Amino acid sequence: MKTADFYYDLPQELIAQDPLEDRSASRLLHLSLEDGSIEHRHFTDILEYLQKGDCLVINDTKVIPARLYGHKEETGAVIEILLLKRKEKDIWECLVKPGKKARSGARISFGDGILKGEILKVAEDGNRMIRFEYEGIFEEILDRLGEMPLPPYITHKLQDKNRYQTVYAKHEGSAAAPTAGLHFTRELLDKVKEKGVNIAHVTLHVGLGTFRPVKVDDVEQHHMHSEFYVVEEDQAKLVNDTKKNGGRVVAVGTTSCRTLEAASGEDGILRAGSGWTDIFIYPGYHFKMIDGLITNFHLPESTLLMLVSALAGKENIMRAYEEAVKERYRFFSFGDATLLL
């Protein structure tokens, strides 16, 4: 299986640069998993596809304002840092630009010295381990100095930080938003519940590995970066009971999907617990837990495009994407949604 098999042409102007004013006003492309047929709808029509007894699984991770701009203390050179993973209390694994100037021992000052960092070491993949020094509460300082870590294809400045956050975001730790969830309003979630659909929460802290380009020609040679997930006991029961009673499990986003699949056994039972997963889902994968997926449109040749191709079939996905381009859908993080069900 070649990475190039997952390429499609996308006009630049279809990449959504700003979120819609009303979260749920986006469009929805429904691709049927039964017969491959395509319907063009609005996101609020999601209610028509969900049935009493189904379970919607959402990822309640919260994006931290992980992008920091500082200066090297020795030279005054501008340094950009993206917090990826907390390794210990004040030590983080970070992506640093420009990397050439960020050697071990270098000290960086942020916000006129409110926050300082020292590069402890350079990891094999080029990421840096940085120890931070500050007075007060780190999260509060980050909230003051940090910016939301928008993907590189979004060039507009985000006016409202909360628009890159789901309405149910709870547990801080993500370097990117689980963007399929951005379409839900509290009112729409209430209507989902009123219909008799259960809503289960899982947590997966999204790492940038999700968006890293696939640099190998052979798909199976690609290695995913690991991400931390949590499945609570009562939420696992909710999902398992849904399956037992004949309901469908619909994941909101590829992050919820990866969590459910990573934490499920071959027996189709979801296990509570926490840990790291580097699950890579591509065509040929046998889904153990999910019956459907709500997700956005994904980048050409990306691991996420491979994941949706595994669920709906590559030919069906490529045809749907071609149709979406023709119909001028909005693509990627702030774009429209697809329902694979």
pLDDT exceeds 90 at position 126: no
User: Is the peptide bond preceding residue 178 cis, with omega within 30 degrees of 0?
Assistant: no
Query: What is the mean pLDDT of the segment spanning 208-216?
Result: 79
Query: What is the mean pLDDT of the segment spanning 213-217?
Result: 90
The β-bridge relationship of strands 61-63 and 171-174 is parallel
Distance between CA atoms of 242 and 256, rounded to whole angstroms? 16
Distance between CA atoms of 236 and 78, rounded to whole angstroms? 46
Sign of CA dihedral 109, 114, 118, 122: negative
The β-bridge relationship of strands 273-277 and 61-63 is unpaired
Give pLDDT tens digits for 170-192.
Answer: 999 998 999 999 999 999 999 99
- What local confidence, expressed as pLDDT, does residue 85 receive? 86
What is the chain's alpha carbon radius of gyration, rounded to the nearest angstrom?
Answer: 20
Residue 249 CB contacts under 8 Å (≥ 6 apart), including other chains? 54, 55, 57, 239, 242, 243, 260, 289, 290, 291, 292
pLDDT exceeds 80 at position 212: no
- What local confidence, expressed as pLDDT, does residue 28 receive? 98
Query: What is the mean pLDDT of the segment spanning 92-119?
Result: 92
**Of all residues in the chain, what percent carry a pLDDT higher than 70?**
99
Calculate the CA dihedral of residues 130, 136, 137, 141 and round it to 10 degrees: -70
Distance between CA atoms of 6 and 231, rounded to whole angstroms? 31
Nearest in space to 327 (alpha carbons), one of 43, 42, 29, 46:
29
Residue 211's pLDDT band (boundaries 50, 70, 90)? low
The b/e string for 19-36 (b: 16+ C-beta within 10 A; e otherwise) is bbeebbebbbbbbeeeee
The 3-class SS string of 16-29 reads CCCCCCCHHHCEEE
**Of all residues in the chain, what percent carry a pLDDT higher than 90?**
87
Output DSSP code: residue 161. G
Give pLDDT tens digits for 306-339.
Answer: 999 999 999 999 999 999 999 999 999 999 999 9
- What local confidence, expressed as pLDDT, does residue 34 receive? 97
Nearest in space to 15 (alpha carbons), one of 341, 328, 339, 338:
328
Three-class SS state of 280: coil
Give pLDDT tens digits for 260-285.
Answer: 999 999 999 999 999 999 999 999 99
- What local confidence, expressed as pLDDT, does residue 226 receive? 87
Calculate the CA dihedral of residues 242, 247, 250, 251 and round it to 10 degrees: 10
pLDDT exceeds 70 at position 65: yes
Residue 341 CB contacts under 8 Å (≥ 6 apart), including other chains? 30, 32, 33, 49, 248, 250, 291, 292, 293
Helix %, strand %, coil % for the chain, to 5? 30, 30, 40
Considering the entire predicted model, what is its pTM?
A: 0.93
- Mean pLDDT is lowest, of 45-54, 83-92, 179-188, 202-211, for 202-211
As a whole number, the mean pLDDT across the chain is 95
The β-bridge relationship of strands 249-252 and 292-296 is parallel
Distance between CA atoms of 176 and 179, rounded to whole angstroms? 8
Residue 101's pLDDT band (boundaries 50, 70, 90)? confident
